[in-house]
Amino acid sequence: MDGPHHVDGDWQPVEVTNGGAWTVGCVWLDFAANRYALRVAAHHCNGLGTMHGGAMATFLDGQAIAVNRLAPDGSNHTPTISLHVDYLAPPAIGDWLMADVTLVKTTRTMIFTQAIVTVGTRAVARSHAIYSNSQGKVQP
């Protein structure tokens, strides 16, 4: 599988499917650096050949994954409470998206994150999200 080998890190592939209209596909995770990456494919794009806003939002909805290692049994699932996305520039087919995620705060019941998405040195999106921490699994 083609990974983000152009960037240093310990990258692990994870196939992300949600059964919905936006199947993300393979996302590459670097847990040590709280970041994840995706190569933009045709199925992520609109008729102009740039990434559709819905696909970007779906990609960014996974930012909790970068700070919360996935358990095989799904026991640490973190449902989304709120997601806000600012679209700064349109990524194109073939671009590598790199999301650098910051764990802002955790409480007993919530996880607060923010992310900056870049293509190379160009910022293409930013977001902040709140997830349920009902399992109490994510700690600061």
pTM of the model as a whole: 0.83
In whole angstroms, what is the distance from residue 137 CA to residue 111 CA? Answer: 10
Q: What is the pLDDT of residue 72?
A: 45
Domains, the chain, with CATH or none:
12-132 (3.10.129.10)
| Nearest to 41, CA basis, from 92, 3, 4 | 92
Which ranges of the chain have pLDDT less than 50? Answer: 1, 72
| Nearest to 38, CA basis, from 61, 71, 68, 19 | 61
